[in-house]
Amino acid sequence: MNIERFIQLWTHRYFKYTHIFKAHFSGYKAWLYFKSRKAGFLRGKELIAIIRTEHFGDIVAAEPISRYVRSLHPDAHIVWFVKPSYHELVDHNPAVNETFSEFCVTQRRVLLDTGVFDKVYPLQFSNNNHCAKCQVFVDNPIAEQKGINVHTYFNFGNLLEVFAQTADLIGEKVPFPADDSPRLYLQESHRKKVDTLALPEKYIVLHCQSNYAPKDWPAARWNQLVEWLAANYSYHIIEIGLISNLSVNTPAYRDLCGKLSILETAEVIRRADFFIGLDSGPSHLANAVGTSGIILMGSLGSFPSYNPYSGKYGRQENAVFVRKDGSPCADLTLEFVRDKVVSALGTNAKKESSTS
C-alpha cells in the first residue's frame, strides 16, 4: 500500500467513525431530551413517534397519517422524524407536536432502542432506511412481514396506503380509513415571499426533472412543449425545481428553479392555473394545494402502471395521467403529450390567432 492510498483509507475511516460516534452521541442526547420531556407529562400521556424522513413528495403523501394518528391518540405528544432539509413540511402541522430533525438512521436506531417512545409508527421500509456513511440499513419488521419493499410497494396501493401498512395502521387492500387528501400548512411568510416575485395573473407551472432518471421526460421534448404552449396559449410558463435543463427562447417562460423553499414553491403552484410535471415531489405539492395537474408518467421498475397519489389526484378528479401502460415516461411522444394537454386545458385559453 502506497502512502497516497494509506492516507485515503484513514481519511475515509476518520470521517466514517467520526460520523458513527456523532450518531450514537446525538442518539443518547435525544433520549435524555425526550426522557425529560416525558417526565413532565401528565400521567398516562403517551410519547408517539411517526417516522417518514424522506423524500419530500413521500412526506406530503403521508401527511394524512398524522391526522389519523392524532385521532387514535388525541392526548399524545406526537413527534415526526424527518431529515433536516424537509422539516418545513412538518413544522406547522397542527396534528404534530414536534419535528425531530434526524441526523441519520443510526441515531434513530439508538434513540428508539432506549424505549423512550410509547408507540412508533414507521412509515418506511428497509430500502429507504439507509445511511451510506454508517453503511447501515434499518429494517422495518412490519414491512418485511407484509413483503413490502422497493420492488413490491406499489402492489400494495398508493403511497399513503403503503405507508399506513408499513406502520400496521391498516391491512392489505384496505382503503385508508380517514380523509386521504394531503394537506400543506402554508404560512404568511410563504405568501409574502411569492408576492415579491410579481407573478403573472395566468400561468402554468412546469416541473421537468425528478430525482430518479427513469421517471423523466427528455429535455428536448420539454423545450418543444414550452414553445408550443407559448405559441398557442395565453398562459405564461413558470418552471420550478432544483435546476433547469431547458433551453427555451420565449418571453412567456420564466425559470424559478433553485430560488424557492419547498413551501414557497407550493405557494407558486397554488396560484397557478395548471401544473404540468412528472411523478415527483412537486406533483404531490400540487395535489395538496388543489391545483389541476397534468402528470407525465410511465412504467417504473417492475410496475407497468401505478398510482402514487391519494386524494383528488389519486381519484383523477383533479389530474390527468399522461401515460401508456408498460412504456417508460421517456417514450411518450410530443404529439401524445400535446394531445393530452389540449384535452386538459381546453380551448378557452387559446390565443385567438393560433391553432393546435
Residues 199, 128, single domain; the answer is no
Residue 177 in any domain: the answer is: no
Residues 162, 215, single domain; the answer is no
Residues 240, 158, single domain; the answer is no
Residue 178 in any domain: the answer is: no
Please give the Cα distance from 311 to 289 (Å, whole number). Answer: 11
Beta bridge pairs of residue 121: 50
Find the CATH number of the domain harbouring 324: 3.40.50.2000
Residues 242, 161, single domain; the answer is no
**DSSP at 150:** T
Q: What is the DSSP string of 215-268?
A: G---HHHHHHHHHHHHHHBS-EEEE-SS--------TTEEE-TTSS-HHHHHHH
Residues 19, 81, single domain; the answer is yes
Give residue 355's pLDDT band: very low, low, confident or very high (50, 70, 90): very low
289 or 346, greater pLDDT: 289
Q: How many domains is the chain built from?
A: 2
Q: Give the model confidence (pLDDT) of 216-249 as tens digits.
A: 999 999 999 999 999 999 999 999 999 999 999 9
Average pLDDT of span 111-132:
91
Residue 37 in any domain: the answer is: yes
> pLDDT at position 352, please?
62
C-alpha cell at 294: 397534468
Residues 7, 37, single domain; the answer is yes
Task: Write down the residue that cell numbers 421517471 correspond to.
Answer: 215
> pLDDT at position 356, please?
40
**DSSP at 55:** -
Give the length of the chain. Answer: 356
Average pLDDT of span 193-214:
97
Give residue 173's pLDDT band: very low, low, confident or very high (50, 70, 90): confident
Q: Give the model confidence (pLDDT) of 98-107 as tens digits.
A: 999 999 999 9
C-alpha cell at 110: 439508538
Q: Give the model confidence (pLDDT) of 142-165 as tens digits.
A: 999 999 999 999 999 999 999 999
Average pLDDT of span 176-202:
98
Find the CATH number of the domain harbouring 117: 3.40.50
Residues 295, 225, single domain; the answer is yes
Range of the domain at 30: 3-166
Q: Is the pLDDT of residue 10 over 70?
A: no
> pLDDT at position 6, please?
60
> pLDDT at position 268, please?
98
